[in-house]
């Protein structure tokens, strides 16, 4: 019998399938379906359930965190929410912005990724394919909603206390995002090669984590560079949002499928891990470069000049949010369009729907940016500034400290744990990951077990991150032992659990959690008088890696014991 490869079947199906469009169906005289006119009120009735489900989807992601922060401020800190109406408007903007953006992503951006992923390997050589994957990685990073929060964080940094951190966030924010994007692009290239050649994730993790830890170790020896460690490690958490993961995955899986390779059970894992690790290394290398080429005196002179420079209309709100929204999406779409037209010489099916989706993406990003400024950043910053009132005296709360020191610290740490635990448990992406993992492990790793392990890890991570800011602990001394422990667990764990554990860190950092936690950390840092408030997100990333790896080892041990007991029972039965 002649063997037929998977690749041949895919190619046969792809080139010998006649696609009939909706217009062809309806234009035919014998068409079963005909176009018909409907009134606006009927269109509204048809769309209402769909719109309700989309709004409810975003409400579930945004409102629990918002209500939790507001209640904590009112009930525990006994303070009203300042500018409540503005924050409410901002949070509504986040909900509707995300709704439009996610719909635009599905209708407009994803078809580009899928078409390019399927067609590119057929019409281009592997180096060209990898170059496109690299450039796409950079483009999607600029389009990530949460990346704006990272750039906005620069306004809170004092140039005298942390000159290089100030310089990176205020003078070179574009370069910072470009380097982060370069890290994501490199992750897309390696992830695609991993799909094609079925590489193990373990060596890639070791080859990435160990140099990153060594650079961190070097940076902590320099007083000017030590304040950049938090920014670098936090930037890894910002990259794995709703744009990067699906678009890069669509491209990588499409390439692997067209090449007739790729381990189907693990093909979705790995890129998220690499897209989190490479930007950390990239930002640290950029910091080293700026440290070696720019002096502190030059940065201070630049900051002095910037403070005196006139502020143009396009640098003020709401214009800055509108321009940022357009700048995030339009270049990415132009790049994808150029690849499609000039390299693939192809066109999109349902172009009108795609155009509508792209318009939704731009509008959604602009509305989300406005919500980020007036809702997420304002609420997170306010909560962060007031939290120290629980255990120490601050100007904004007259009765502070509200509790004795130990009690106040315990309340703050519990608040941080509950925030991380609750926000992660409600994350839709984690639910999807849990179902995938339960299916891939044949039920050995239950969905609920994974969700609890990840939520516990994020909760502990955020609690440790908040403690780091309160007590001004060195982030490097928290991260280095934690990652070394994770590497030891990685050696002991099987490939499946390693894939799940390292990817779970990226799943938890959504477009709502990242800006909120970042703003809270920076506000908290300002209130307690530390130089910078970064580091919470990086601790929230390593936490779930460790808890999931430990859970995986516990499941493995339990399975071995069960097998041993079953074998013993069978032998006893045979002997009797």
Unique residue bearing structure tokens 């640098």: 315
Q: Is the pLDDT of residue 439 over 70?
A: yes
Cβ(445)–Cβ(437) below 8 Å: yes
Q: Is residue 494 part of a domain?
A: yes
* Of 96, 58, 142, residue with least CA distance to 326: 142
Q: Is the pLDDT of residue 64 over 90?
A: no
Cβ(140)–Cβ(184) below 8 Å: yes
pLDDT for 386 equals: 87
466 against 350, higher pLDDT: 466
pLDDT for 485 equals: 96
Q: Is the pLDDT of residue 136 over 80?
A: yes
pLDDT for 206 equals: 93
pLDDT for 103 equals: 87
Whole-number Å distance between alpha carbons of 411 and 375: 25
The band of 387, judged by pLDDT with boundaries at 50, 70 and 90, is: confident
pLDDT for 239 equals: 73
* Most confident residue range from 12-26, 297-311, 490-504: 490-504
Domain boundaries, position 564: 96-300+312-575
**Mean pLDDT confidence for 178-196:** 86
DSSP 511: T
Question: Which backbone phi and psi does 532 adopt, to 5 degrees?
Answer: -145, 155
**Mean pLDDT confidence for 96-111:** 85
534-559 pLDDT, tens digit per residue, is 888 899 889 999 999 999 899 888 88
The band of 213, judged by pLDDT with boundaries at 50, 70 and 90, is: very high
The band of 142, judged by pLDDT with boundaries at 50, 70 and 90, is: confident
pLDDT for 126 equals: 82
Q: Is the pLDDT of residue 62 over 70?
A: yes
Whole-number Å distance between alpha carbons of 133 and 238: 19
pLDDT for 559 equals: 84
pLDDT for 430 equals: 74
pLDDT for 200 equals: 85
- pLDDT more than 70, % of the chain: 84
Q: Is the pLDDT of residue 207 over 90?
A: yes
DSSP 20: P
Query: Is the bond leading into 318 cis (omega within 30 degrees of zero)?
Result: yes
In the Cβ-directed half-sphere of 60, how many Cα atoms lie within 13 Å? 12
**Mean pLDDT confidence for 459-481:** 91
Q: Is residue 484 part of a domain?
A: yes
Q: Is residue 50 part of a domain?
A: no
217 against 2, higher pLDDT: 217
> Where is average pLDDT lowest: 20-24, 331-335, 362-366, 483-487?
20-24
Q: Is the pLDDT of residue 488 over 90?
A: yes
Question: Which backbone phi and psi does 402 adopt, to 5 degrees?
Answer: -75, -25
> Where is average pLDDT lowest: 121-135, 278-292, 436-450?
436-450
**DSSP run (H or E) holding 113:** helix 110-123
Question: Which backbone phi and psi does 224 adopt, to 5 degrees?
Answer: -80, -30
Q: Is residue 491 part of a domain?
A: yes
**Mean pLDDT confidence for 323-336:** 84
**pTM (2 d.p.):** 0.82
The band of 208, judged by pLDDT with boundaries at 50, 70 and 90, is: very high
The band of 151, judged by pLDDT with boundaries at 50, 70 and 90, is: low
- Structural domains counted in the chain: 1
pLDDT for 37 equals: 73
**Mean pLDDT taken over the chain:** 82
Q: Is residue 436 part of a domain?
A: yes
pLDDT for 32 equals: 58
> Where is average pLDDT lowest: 160-174, 231-245, 370-384, 475-489?
231-245
Q: Is the dihedral of CA 137, 138, 142, 147 positive or negative?
A: positive
* Of 430, 447, 448, residue with least CA distance to 438: 447
pLDDT for 487 equals: 95
Q: Is residue 367 part of a domain?
A: yes
Q: Is the pLDDT of residue 25 over 70?
A: no
pLDDT for 275 equals: 85
Helix (H, G, I), strand (E, B), or coil: what is residue 195? helix
**Mean pLDDT confidence for 222-247:** 80
Q: Is residue 410 part of a domain?
A: yes
Q: Is the dihedral of CA 44, 45, 46, 51 positive or negative?
A: positive
**Mean pLDDT confidence for 267-283:** 82
Q: Is residue 451 part of a domain?
A: yes
**Which tokens go with 61?**
């992601």
Q: Is the pLDDT of residue 9 over 70?
A: no
Cβ(66)–Cβ(91) below 8 Å: yes
Cβ(542)–Cβ(461) below 8 Å: yes
pLDDT for 480 equals: 94
223 against 349, higher pLDDT: 223
**Mean pLDDT confidence for 170-179:** 86
**DSSP run (H or E) holding 58:** helix 40-71
Q: Is the pLDDT of residue 564 over 90?
A: no
pLDDT for 30 equals: 62
Cα angle 231-233-238, degrees, rounded to a multiple of 5: 85
The band of 413, judged by pLDDT with boundaries at 50, 70 and 90, is: very high
* Of 388, 446, 444, residue with least CA distance to 559: 444
pLDDT for 14 equals: 59
The band of 478, judged by pLDDT with boundaries at 50, 70 and 90, is: very high
pLDDT for 346 equals: 80
Beta-bridge partner residues of 397: 394
Q: Is the pLDDT of residue 482 over 90?
A: yes
**Which tokens go with 57?**
């989807």
């Amino acid at each position: 019998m002649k063997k037929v490869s998977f690749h041949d079947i895919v190619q046969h199906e792809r080139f010998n399938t006649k696609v009939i469009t909706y217009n062809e169906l309806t234009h035919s005289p014998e068409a079963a379906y005909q176009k018909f006119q409907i009134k606006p009120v009927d269109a509204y009735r048809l769309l209402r359930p769909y719109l309700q489900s989309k709004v409810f989807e975003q409400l579930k992601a945004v409102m629990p965190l918002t209500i939790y922060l507001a209640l904590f401020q009112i009930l525990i800190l006994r303070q009203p929410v300042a500018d409540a109406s503005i924050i409410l408007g901002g949070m509504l903007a986040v909900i509707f912005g995300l709704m439009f953006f996610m719909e635009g992503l599905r209708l407009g951006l994803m078809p580009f990724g899928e078409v390019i992923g399927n067609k590119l390997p057929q019409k281009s050589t592997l180096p060209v394919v990898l170059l496109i994957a690299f450039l796409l990685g950079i483009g999607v990073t600029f389009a990530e909603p949460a990346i704006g929060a990272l750039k906005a964080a620069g306004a809170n940094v004092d140039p005298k206390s942390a000159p290089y951190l100030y310089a990176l966030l205020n003078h070179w924010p574009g370069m910072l995002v470009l380097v982060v994007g370069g890290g994501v692009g490199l992750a897309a290239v390696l992830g695609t090669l991993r799909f094609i050649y079925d590489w193990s994730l373990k060596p890639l993790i070791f080859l990435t984590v160990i140099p990153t830890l060594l650079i961190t170790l070097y940076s902590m020896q320099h007083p000017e560079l030590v304040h950049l460690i938090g920014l670098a490690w936090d930037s890894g958490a910002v990259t794995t949002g709703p744009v990067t993961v699906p678009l890069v995955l669509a491209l990588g899986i499409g390439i692997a499928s067209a090449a007739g390779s790729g381990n189907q059970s693990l093909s979705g894992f790995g890129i998220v891990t690499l897209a989190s690790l490479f930007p950390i290394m990239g930002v640290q290398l950029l910091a080293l470069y700026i440290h070696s080429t720019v002096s502190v005196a030059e940065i201070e002179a630049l900051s002095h000049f910037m403070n005196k420079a006139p502020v143009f209309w396009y640098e003020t709100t709401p214009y800055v949010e509108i321009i940022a929204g357009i700048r995030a999406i339009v270049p990415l779409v132009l790049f994808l369009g150029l690849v499609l037209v000039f390299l693939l010489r192809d066109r999109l099916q349902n172009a009108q729907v795609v155009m509508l989706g792209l318009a939704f993406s731009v509008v959604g990003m602009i509305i989300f940016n406005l919500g980020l400024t007036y809702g997420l950043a304002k609420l997170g910053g306010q909560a962060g500034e007031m939290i120290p009132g629980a255990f120490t005296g601050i100007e904004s709360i007259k009765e502070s400290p509200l509790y004795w020191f130990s009690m106040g610290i315990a309340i703050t740490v519990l608040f941080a744990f509950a925030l991380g635990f609750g926000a992660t448990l409600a994350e839709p992406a984690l639910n999807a990951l849990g179902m995938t993992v339960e299916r891939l492990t044949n039920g050995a790793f239950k969905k609920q077990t994974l969700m609890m392990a990840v939520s516990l890890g994020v909760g502990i991570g955020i609690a440790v991150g908040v403690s780091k800011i309160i007590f001004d602990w060195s982030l490097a001394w928290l991260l280095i032992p934690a990652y070394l422990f994770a590497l030891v667990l990685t050696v002991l764990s099987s490939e499946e659990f390693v894939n799940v554990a390292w990817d779970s860190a990226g799943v938890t950092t959504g477009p709502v959690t990242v800006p909120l936690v970042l703003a809270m950390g920076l506000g908290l840092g300002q209130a307690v008088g530390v130089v910078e408030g970064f580091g919470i997100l990086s601790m929230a990333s390593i936490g779930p890696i460790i808890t999931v790896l430990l859970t995986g080892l516990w499941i493995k041990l339990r399975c071995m014991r069960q097998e041993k007991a079953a074998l013993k029972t069978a032998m006893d039965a045979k002997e009797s």
